[in-house]
Structure 1
Amino acid sequence: MEDRAEELARKVHAGQVDKAGQDYVTAHVADVVGRLDPEDEVGRTVAWLHDTVEDGPAGTRDELVAAFPDQVVAAVDALTHGPDEDRAAYYRRVAADPLALRVKHADLGSNTDPDRLARLDPATRERLEEKYRTAREALGL
């Protein structure tokens, strides 16, 4: 299951880069996966997929539904922030799903990694540090 998730993540995020211009899968998605217990196959599967619906083309969610168990799809749904969605509502949804919350904790760890943040210009770094501080507080992490 994790292998299928990695394959889909690599397909969806092909050519994408993070805010520092690094390959998105290598710099972020694989890092999120690596922050989870190697024995946590379901968590690692969700970690590979956590940004696929939000960042991928239309129809990506349909691929998830066809290929993964309901628990995985529900966690990815919880982690998918809608374009017009209020952040507080998003954080409440993530907090309500223990699997999504576990992956979000790893996601925030990756996003706030000092090495990754050091690659950003000061204004972007400050903006993101505040965003992630707010997220941690809202999620109780």
Structure 2
Amino acid sequence: MALSRLDNAIRMAVVAHAGQTDLADQPYILHPLRVMLAMEAEDERVVAVLHDVLEDCSCYTEGDIRFLFGDTVADAVSALTRQEGETYSDFIIRCRENPIAARVKLGDIKDNMSPSRSSSLKLSHKMRYEAAIKVLSGRAALRERE
């Protein structure tokens, strides 16, 4: 039986984030999986689980993602990848230009600010996230799951 696109994306993310932990010393892969679960559409879920692969790992390229998942997913993952020398504000504005990236980034920020993770966040990061939510919400609203 062939794996679905989402299954393949999850496998890619597991390999990419192997051995990584977050600020709370939890396996990092749990973060992209939680963001994925907050999304509804398949492309959003694929992008969500891959959203940190290019920025945090050197084992995959944008070309790999484009080949395996197509232009829509690759463009959104690229938009979610902060470029060298790019300010956070410019990064958020660039994310806002891609509707899938905007929704995933809102989910990413929401997860980063969740009570289980936010206790390890610096106040400056919390303020930055709150400002980013305002910018991103002008383009896309985060859809709550029941």
TM-score by length of 2: 0.85
Q: 1:24 aligns with which of 6, 23, 28?
A: 28
8 A Cα contact 1:88 1:138, kept in partner? no
CA apart distance, 1:60: 2.5
Q: 1:134 aligns with which of 127, 131, 134?
A: 131
Give structure 2 stretches of 5+ with no counterpart: 142-146
Indicate the percent of aligned positions where both proteins have the same amino acid: 34
Please give the root-mean-square deviation of Cα atoms over the aligned residues, in Å.
Answer: 1.5
Where 1:22 maps in the other structure, the secondary structure is: coil
Where 2:39 maps in the other structure, the secondary structure is: coil
8 A Cα contact 1:50 1:80, kept in partner? yes
What is aligned with 1:89? Answer: 90
8 A Cα contact 2:16 2:59, kept in partner? no
8 A Cα contact 2:109 2:129, kept in partner? yes
Letter matched to residue 29 of structure 1:
P
What is aligned with 2:144? Answer: none
Partners of 2:107 and 2:6 in 1: how far apart?
16
| Between structures 1 and 2, the one with greater helix share | 1
- 1:1-141 aligned at under 5 Å gives the runs 1-26=5-30, 28-37=31-40, 40-57=41-58, 59-118=60-119, 120=120, 124-140=121-137
Which moved further from structure 2: 131-140 or 78-87?
A: 131-140
Deviations 1:77-129 (A, max 9, x none): 111011311222211111111111111111111011012213x2xxx442321
* Residues 132 and 84 of structure 1: CA distance in aligned 2, closer, same or farther (over 3 Å): same
Corresponding pairs, count? 134
TM-score by length of 1: 0.87
Letter matched to residue 11 of structure 1:
V
